[in-house]
Copies of this chain bind each other. A is one copy, B any other.
């Protein structure tokens, strides 16, 4: 499966595309950080982010989109822009009927490093190892977006096996396009 991971932000919005499945080596398809100037009005910045995400959805046609879950208790100075950018990311994916998953930063850190409190350097190092890259993706938003995609593939794999087992038992909970799988 192919997953687009999005680390939402108004100033820097990380996007990473990863191909793969549980139990096989994962592959980096592309990674980028959308940047918008803090000197521009917020509506213009959000439209730039929407266009950037739409362009990647068109180009890479992922099977699912993983977005970092934003909390109100995050840094107050950036949380509103982050929430707005995450809303745009979800709408871009939902308009296309793609499955959307929200993963918390702790879930992502735990998935890639085994430690829910891992720091940026550890996450970057693990993403580099998992995707067999020559160097950690820079800036951190790029590594975070890839870590989200990796997390989704690994968690989604487990979820798929649970779904299959339930379906075999006659109680399907198959994923529904546009639904958030927690």
Contact = CB atoms under 8 A, between A and B. Distances in A.
Given A72-B76, A72-B79, A180-B41, A91 B88 contact: yes
A178 interface: yes
A41 to B, nearest CB: 4
Nearest to A47: B94
Interface residues of A, number: 30
A149 interface: no
Contacts of A70: 80
26 contacts: A41-B94, A41-B100, A42-B87, A42-B90, A42-B180, A43-B91, A43-B93, A44-B94, A44-B178, A44-B179, A46-B87, A46-B90, A46-B91, A46-B94, A47-B91, A50-B95, A72-B80, A79-B83, A80-B83, A83-B84, A84-B87, A84-B90, A85-B87, A87-B87, A87-B88, A88-B91
Contacts of A44: 94, 178-179
A40 to B, nearest CB: 9
Nearest to A72: B76
A86 interface: yes
A68 B121 CA distance: 39
Majority SS at the chain A contact face: helix
A118 to B, nearest CB: 24
Given A42-B180, A43-B180, A44-B94, 11 more contacts: A41-B178, A41-B179, A43-B100, A46-B87, A47-B95, A50-B91, A79-B83, A83-B84, A84-B86, A87-B88, A88-B91
A140 to B, nearest CB: 22
A73 interface: yes
Contacts of A72: 72, 76-77, 79-80
Closest 6 A/B residue pairs (Cβ)? A84-B87, A43-B94, A83-B83, A41-B180, A43-B90, A72-B76
